[in-house]
Amino acid sequence: MNKALFLDRDGVINVEKNWVYRVEDFEFTEGIFDLCRKYTDAGYYIFVITNQSGIARGLYSQGDFLKLTDWMTEQFMKNGIIITKVYYCPHHPDFTGYCNCRKPGPGMILQAVEEYDLDVSECVLIGDKDSDLEAGRNAGIPESNLHFYRQNRDEE
């Protein structure tokens, strides 16, 4: 069985801004490449799990999201890091109804566990919202492996 690092995107990989879907609006958080390299060197797969309700809201298209995702994963590759897969939820309950993939649902994590034969007890999740950590709990990731990341914000 394999181990993995699960990362939320907005607020962990990139600086939190409303509805980031264009390359020119994407700003990597400080230290994200070093963090991922540490886990890659320790034999972890790296997965991104991200709610993207802007798709359901009609603020941007799935194509817009995928274009940005391709660019983002290329930037990781340029830094010697492979993002194994990006899982995303394009839903929002007010627009598309309930789904199991929207965090705090565990759907994206459980899909990765199944597809990549992951040992959830060896997985780590880093998120910036309670719903991220709750998704990890709901998928069976140990509490000690759930980490809250809060970027520095001027208003705090």
pTM for the model stands at 0.94
29: containing domain? 8-126+142-148
CATH number, residue 115: 3.40.50.1000
Mean pLDDT of 142-151: 91
Q: Residue 153 has what pLDDT?
A: 46
Residue 134 has pLDDT above 70, yes or no: yes
Residues 9-35 pLDDT 10s: 999 999 999 899 999 999 999 999 999
* Residue 73 belongs to some domain of the structure: yes
10 catalytic per annotation: yes
Is 3 inside a domain boundary?
Answer: no
Within-domain flag for 135: no
> Residue 11, Cβ neighbours under 10 Å: how many?
20
Q: Residues 99-130: pLDDT tens digits?
A: 999 999 999 999 999 999 999 999 999 999 99
Choose the catalytic residue: 10, 94, 128, 130: 10
**What total number of domains does the chain contain?**
1
Residue 155: what pLDDT? 38
H/E segment holding residue 77: helix 62-78
Contact residues for 133 (Cβ-Cβ < 8 A; gap 6+) = 125, 127, 146, 148
Catalytic annotation present for 8: yes
One of 8, 41, 117, 130 is an active-site residue; which one?
8
